[in-house]
Chain A
Amino acid sequence: MHRLSHHQVVSPLLTQSARPLLQARRCLQPATLRSSPRVSISHQSTCLTTQSHRVFATQSTPTPSSTRTTYLGQPPKGMLTVTQLEQAAATEEIDTVVVGFTNLYGQLLGKRFDTDFYLSSCHKDGTHACDYLLANDIEQNPTPGYKTINYENGYGDVHLVPDTDSLRLATWQDSTAMVVCDIYDNKTHQLHPMAPRSILRKQIDKASAMGFACMAASELEYYQYETDFRTAHKANWQQSLIQPVSTYMEDYHLQTTATEEKYTAVFRHHLKHSGIPVENSKGEAGLGQHELNISYSDILQMSDRHAVYKQALKEMAQQLGISLTFMAKPFTVSYWRNTH
C-alpha cells in the first residue's frame, strides 16, 4: 500500500472517509452467510456440557476434555459451522481460512489456507508448525535454555488442530474465515503442555470437575495514532513524531470520539460481524486512548475473542493507515507533544 506522511490522508481506502470503506467491506460479507438463519447452526447449545462438541477426524488426536463453547442464546453473528464454510467454499465466497494459534506472548500466529485445501486437509488432519514458536522471543530468535524445546531435541513439529467451535468470518479481510487451534505434542498426541490454550483448558477441566462453569470478560484499552505503523517504525516510535488520533483527553468525551468514528466504527462493525459481539466503545483517560468492550462468554471462547480482537484491530489499523498499541504504557507522559 502506498504510504503517505501522517499530515496527509494516509490510506487510499480512506480518501473520502471511512464510511465508504465501511459500506464497501460490509458488502464483502458473503450474501449466503448474511442471510443464513442462525437457527440452522448445529452446535448451538444453551448450557454447558462436559463433553466437547469437537469431533476429530484424526484418530491419533484425542478430543480435548474441556468444556466447550456455550451460548446463552444464539451463536453470535459471524460464527460459522463447517457446513456453512463448505457452502461458502463452493460459491467461492470464502477463499481463505486463517488457521491461528497463540504463542507465549499471546500473539496470534499461523498460516493462511486455501479454503478448499483447508476443508479437504487441515480440517480433518490439522497442520504443523515448528515447536520453537513456543520457545522463542518476540524477535523470533530461538532462545537457548528451555528444557524440552531446544536444539538438542531438534526443534520438531507441533500439531495444530483447529477447534471448529472457534470458526468465524474475518470480515475485515476479503473473503476470509478464521479458526483457532489447540496445539498437540506431535509425539505424545496430548495437548502441548506449554501452549497457553492448553494451560487454560487444564484449569477449565478442573473447574468442570468441581461442578463449575466460568463466564468471563476482558476489557481491552489501547492507544491509537494517525501515524501508520511503517512510519512510526521508521520514526523509532518517538513521541514527537507520531500523532495521537485526538487532540484532547477524551475520557467519555462524545465530541472527541466522534471525530475518531472513522476508525472505531469500522472496528466495531467488523468485530460484530466476525463472531465477536460488541457492547460499546468509549474514549479513555489518555490522548487517543480508547476502550472497546466485547460481550462476555465462556472463558475459553472469551480468550479466543480477545486474541482475535487484538489481531483484527491491528490488521484494520494497517488497512486504515493508522497505528494502535496494546502496550501497557506506551509513553511516560501524556502531554509531551503539547509542550513542543
Chain B
Amino acid sequence: MCNCIPTLTRCFIQLVARSQDATGSGCHIHLSLHALDNVKDNLFLGKETLGPVKNTSKNFAHFLAGWIKYCPDLMVFYAPTINSYKRYQSSSWAPTRLAWSYDNRTAGFRIVGSGKSLRIENRIAGADCNPYLVFAASLASGLRGIEEKLEPPAAFEGNIYEAGDLPTVPKTLKEATQLFTDSKFARSVFGDDVVDHYAHFYNSEVAAHEKAVTDWERQRYFERI
C-alpha cells in the first residue's frame, strides 16, 4: 500500500496537470488624458465621484464609457491573430466580459492609481497586438465617449467570469472582423479605406487558418477516426 500511494498521487497530479490551461500573455494598456498645454495636469482628476472612484472628472467617466462601448467594434486591434482568441478563457486572468471595476482583475477595465496617477487599465489586449493600432483604437473609443458624453455602466463587484448577463468580447477573429467591417463607429473614426484594408487583412488571416491542417486534428483523428 505504501508503495501505491506515491503512484496514485503521481497519477492524480498528472490528471490535474493535463487539465490545467496555460495562462496567456496579455498586454494591458494604461491610458490617461492630460492637458495639452500642461502635460502634468491629469484631466481624469476632478470633483466627481463615479462609484468607487473618488475625485474624478466627467471626462474620465465619458472616456471609460466610450472605451468599453466600442471595444467589440475594434476587437481586431486588441486581438489581431487567430491565436489571440485562445487567451480568453474563463478564470484565466484574461478578461472575457466587458465591465469595469476598481482594482478587480477579473474585469476587462480596471481603474488603477489615485491622484495624479489615476488611470484606466484595459486588460483585453494580447501580447500579440500591434501597439500603434491598439493605442489608436483605445484613444478613438475614449474620445468618442467624450464627444457623445456617454455614461459608463455601474462598476462591477465580484467575479466577472460568473456574471452571465454581461456582454462578452468576440470569440474568434472571424467574428471580430465581421463586427469591425459592420461598425459605423470604426468607419467614422478610421475611414472606409482603412477599415476595408484592415478587414481584408484579418479576413485573409482567417482564410489562411481555415485551410490549414493542424497538429490538433492529427492528434485527434489520425489513428482513431
Contacts and interface: CB of A to CB of B under 8 A. Distances in A.
Contacts of A145: 200, 204
A184 B205 CA distance: 25
B56 interface: no
A338 B196 CA distance: 46
A196 B133 contact: yes
A39 interface: no
A87 interface: no
B82 to A, nearest CB: 10
A220 B36 contact: no
A200 to B, nearest CB: 4
A2 interface: no
A67 B36 contact: yes
Contact of A333 (B22, B85, B125, B140): B22
A303 B137 CA distance: 13
Q: Which of A106, A197, A329 has the most CB of B within 10 A?
A: A329
B211 interface: no
A9 interface: no
B194 A199 contact: yes
B148 to A, nearest CB: 13
B165 interface: no
Contacts of A332: 21-22, 86
Interface stretch (A160-168, A227-235, A263-271, A284-292): A284-292
A24 interface: no
For chain B, which range describes its interface: under 10, 10 to 19, 20 to 34, or 35 or more residues? 35 or more
A328 B25 contact: yes
Interface string A210-225: 1111111111111100
B133 A199 contact: yes
Q: Which of A105, A199, A306, A331 has the most CB of B within 10 A?
A: A199
Given A215-B31, A334-B23, A137 B208 contact: yes
Contacts of A221: 25-27, 127
A54 B136 CA distance: 21
A285 B29 contact: no
Contact of A220 (B21, B27, B85): B27
Nearest to B63: A212
B17 A339 contact: yes
B22 A330 contact: yes
B30 A217 contact: yes
Interface in B166-220: 189-191, 193-194, 196-198, 200-201, 204-205, 208
Nearest to B147: A210
Closest 7 CB pairs of A and B: A106-B130, A335-B17, A328-B126, A196-B132, A306-B131, A221-B25, A329-B86
Interface of B: 14, 17-40, 43, 79-81, 83-87, 93, 119, 125-136, 138-140, 143, 146, 189-191, 193-194, 196-198, 200-201, 204-205, 208
